Amino acid sequence: MNKTTNKTEFIFFSGKGGVGKTSMACTTAVHYADTGKKTMIVTTDPAANLSDVFEQEIGHNITKINGIDNLYAMEIDPDQSTKDYKERSLAPMRELFDEEMLKIAEEQLSGPCTEEMASFDKFIDFMDDDAYDIIIFDTAPTGHTIRLLELPVDWSKHIEDSSKGSGQTCMGPVALIQESKQKYDTAVAKLRDPSQTDFVFVMQPEQTSLQETIRASNELAQIGITTTRIIINGYIPKEEAVNPFFKSRYEMQSGYLEKAKETFKDITIQTMELFDGELKGIPMFKKSGEKLFNTGKVDSTEKTEPEVKTSTMQKAKTTNLKIDNSQLNIDHLIYPVKGKRKHIFYSGKGGVGKTSLACLTAIQTAKKGYKTLLMTTDPAAHIGNVLDKPVSDEITAIDGAKNLFAVKIDQKKATEDYKESILGDARKNFDATTIQAMEEELDSPCTEEMASFQKFMEYASGDEFEVIVFDTAPTGHTLRLLELPMDWSKQIQLKAGLSTQISEADKLQKARFDKVIDMMKNKEETTFGFVMYPEKTPIIEAYRASEELKTVGVHTQLVVANLIIPDEQAVTPFFENRRNMQEKYLNEIYEQFVDAEILKVPMQEKEIKGIAMLNKMSENLFGGK
């Protein structure tokens, strides 16, 4: 970054889930704090794990990081942000309006889209903070980061358009949020200024990560934001690629490094080698900072072997040491009971392999003769890359895989379809003035979330397929999606309480929501699975999400421990250390998820891609043909 003033600098870290955004953001934060700059690191990811990697409680308040001067952190809590935002919006109205008007305003602020708006508003507040030299944003995975950065542009335009028309937005009267427009315009100007904002993509040297970085940097360019730097993370040290397995992976990574250099000729590219232990805690971030900022020589193979504790459960001790699923029976979790349909959800931290597991499962159920739909709700869809087949927003039969169909939810197209369906019905019943007001409200950025959700509902409540496998967005956004039917159902109920009657459209909508809620809670119809690799943060994130889902009656039945280093491939001290670390965390997985079946999946020597490879792997994992 070429800083030309003494204004606060902003550094954004984005990229595909699981590429190491948090590690690189924390490494950078520790580096700048160590050089004497007052530094703040903020996470906008609903599944925040700054507390885990800094090994101290952080939460929704600005917190001083222990063991280092000048460093502060905050994890934006969507629930607390929503509560604060609603109170801030309603406070000026309390002295001006009667109880009934306040109830109507509160109802408008009770919709699920308020949560997105509130978290976004909190993020914008930091863009206006000059108390720090540097503010670092550790963002949610790419698709949701793009959405976050588009919001100030979208909301500013929506407020401006609405003020010229009816004066109404989906969040209430323009007058209530008009003051936000100036804040949004200021934030947009800062985001577009490379002298003040450094936008960094973190990626792994693999196809899906490279493709997502290309796509996302192009999308940012369309709203005037410049990608300034790319960090290619998780690179296997050359001296460790001594056997055919890791030599093959190293050569694959080297190929993607060259492709990245060819693609991003005018952008600074840095590489960060894999460490043999986890990146967490101030000492480790200082080591990685020395490597990233070339401030000294660090040995990435320095021994950081964790203590492998003996599990308190015999189950863990006797099954973890080998990748053997022969005693595991999970047929009831992936195949439908006669006469019923099966819905299989895979969730987890970004980058843990949800897409691969969803594709492997769908391949398997299709081979067994079940008409199967593989669907992704992730804005950064990768099922087409793994299948090595084109996948669109229309249900498509997958060539070479009998009984298998796939679809991705295209948020922009879903939004247009949703708006047209509502306006099409409205034009039959309302006058031009009312239609114009509805059009203005539907131009709100909130509409996109509802539209994608409606498309998900359409597939989830249909009966064309015997098995539907959902490849979901990373954890925080998956929870948001799965809790939406509950939220919208409650809002409709609230609306009924405030008015004399509930409309027929709302009755129909509530019935559909309730059907999906019942489906998700029914263990015969739905299997909810978490995918994770055996390290601390993916396990913690999945456990928290699993506990949260329990509160709405959805239980975790399957856990996939992915990317396990095969024992016979750990032939150097470096990979022995990583394998020992994995064994320790495999024990934790068994202890944390006592009610779930644990499926273990080995790391592959090359990318999981193509129908032939998926067929072979699915047979090894699930058995049979």
Residue 526 predicted with pLDDT over 60: yes
**Each residue of 308-367: pLDDT tens digit?**
333 333 333 334 446 778 778 899 999 998 878 999 999 887 778 889 999 999 999 999
Give pLDDT tens digits for 154-189: 655 655 665 655 555 554 554 455 556 677 778 888
Instruction: Tell me the pTM.
Output: 0.77
Cα separation, 569 vs 64, whole angstroms: 42
* CA 23 to each of CA 27, 30, 57, 62, 306: distance values in angstroms, whole numbers, following the listed order: 6, 11, 17, 19, 19
Lowest mean pLDDT across 25-34, 423-432, 498-507, 587-596: 498-507
How many helices (H) and strands (E) are present in the chain, helices listed first? 22, 18
Quick check: 498 pLDDT over 60?
A: no
State pLDDT tens for residues 250-308.
Answer: 999 999 999 999 999 989 999 999 999 888 999 999 999 999 998 654 444 444 333 33
pLDDT exceeds cutoff 70 at 542: yes
Please name the amino acid found at residue 112: P
Mean pLDDT for 550-566 is 91
- Residue 494: is its pLDDT beyond 80? no
Residue with the larger pLDDT of the pair 251 and 544: 251
| DSSP state string for 463-494 | -S-SEEEEEPPPHHHHHHHHHHHHHHHHHHHH
Contact assessment for residue 358 and residue 385, using Cβ atoms and an 8 Å cutoff: no
| pLDDT score for 559 | 97
| 504 vs 623, higher pLDDT | 623
pLDDT at 17: 72
Flag whether pLDDT at 484 surpasses 60. no
Mean pLDDT, rounded, for 190-219: 90
Flag whether pLDDT at 23 surpasses 90.
yes
* pLDDT value of residue 443: 66
**What pLDDT, on the 0 to 100 scale, is given for residue 288?**
95
Q: Residue 124: its pLDDT value, please? A: 78
- Judge if 9-77+131-292 and 314-411+463-482+491-622 fold alike in CATH terms: yes
- Mean pLDDT, range 38-42, rounded to an integer: 96
Give the list of residues 6+ apart from residue 201 with CB closer than 8 angstroms, or none: 14, 15, 213, 216, 217, 227, 229, 230, 231
Whether pLDDT at 242 is above 90: yes
What confidence score (pLDDT) does residue 198 get? 93
| DSSP code of residue 410 | -
* Mean pLDDT within 389-401: 92
The region of weakest confidence among 93-107, 135-149, 165-179, 519-533 is 165-179
pLDDT for res 441: 64
What is the pLDDT at residue 429? 74
- Please state which of the ranges 27-31, 45-49, 409-413, 605-609 shows the lowest mean pLDDT: 45-49
Checking if the pLDDT of 132 tops 50, the result is yes
User: Mean per-residue pLDDT for 66-81?
Assistant: 91
In the chain, domain spans: 9-77+131-292, 314-411+463-482+491-622
Q: Which of 12-21, 23-32, 402-411 has the highest mean pLDDT?
A: 23-32
Sign of CA dihedral 470, 475, 480, 484: positive
pLDDT score of 56: 94
Say yes or no to pLDDT of 59 above 50.
Answer: yes
Instruction: Check whether 248 has a pLDDT greater than 70.
Output: yes
| Class of the CATH domain delimited by 314-411+463-482+491-622 | alpha beta
Which one, of 593, 351, 324, lies nearest residue 475 by Cα? Answer: 351
For residues 23-52, average pLDDT: 90
Tell me the CATH class for 9-77+131-292: alpha beta
Q: Of the ranges 367-381, 404-418, 432-446, 579-593, which one carries the lowest mean pLDDT score?
A: 432-446
pLDDT computed for residue 16 by the predictor:
78
Between 218 and 448, name the one with better pLDDT. Answer: 218
